[in-house]
Amino acid sequence: AVAVSIPCSLVFADDAKIPDGILLTHNIRYREGASRSWMLDLAKPAVQTNGPRPAIVVIHGGGWIEGDKSSFSTPGVPTPGNIIDFAKLGFVAVTINYRLAREAPFPAAVADCRCAVRWLRAHAKEHNVDPERIGVWGNSAGGHLALSGAVLDCPGEAADLTKKPHAVLLAYPDITAGD
């Protein structure tokens, strides 16, 4: 995976409504099980193309203890990384919730993020996604999870490249190089 860190100066979802030509679906379950956190929102262009589209998974920050996917899927909320903006640019974009630290300890959130990538790859045909062009975007703790999901193998998890993205974009990531 390729990792890039940039300042947040992307386009914004500036209207309080979903733009014409964009389909937005809320609360799609990306993983089976008891956790209510395993949900995603999906935005995509309504117009089909001749070929599949690139996709991006957006991971919210919040210090691993708070935050919600809705901050990246609500029209009129000027958040860099809003999936509506990515859809306007031609991407299929999802934003996910994951188990926060109070619900499950590390590396549960990393595993959840990778399950969301695997879900998107498994549903690529249904959503017109190119499974070979899936990236992740995360801000703050979400940037940490995006990078960790791309480079770490979680204990007890089989090495499975279908869970890993092809590109990583970090916005104000919470990462430390060490002492």
pTM as predicted: 0.84
For the stretch 47-104, pLDDT in tens is 988 899 999 999 999 999 999 999 999 887 777 889 999 999 999 999 999 999 999 9
As a whole number, the mean pLDDT across the chain is: 84
Question: Would you say how long the chain is, in residues?
Answer: 179
pLDDT band of residue 155 (cuts 50, 70, 90) is low
Strand 39-45 relative to strand 92-96, pairing:
antiparallel
Distance between CA atoms of 178 and 157, rounded to whole angstroms?
Answer: 25
C-alpha separations of 45 from 49, 55, 156 in Å: 9, 11, 37
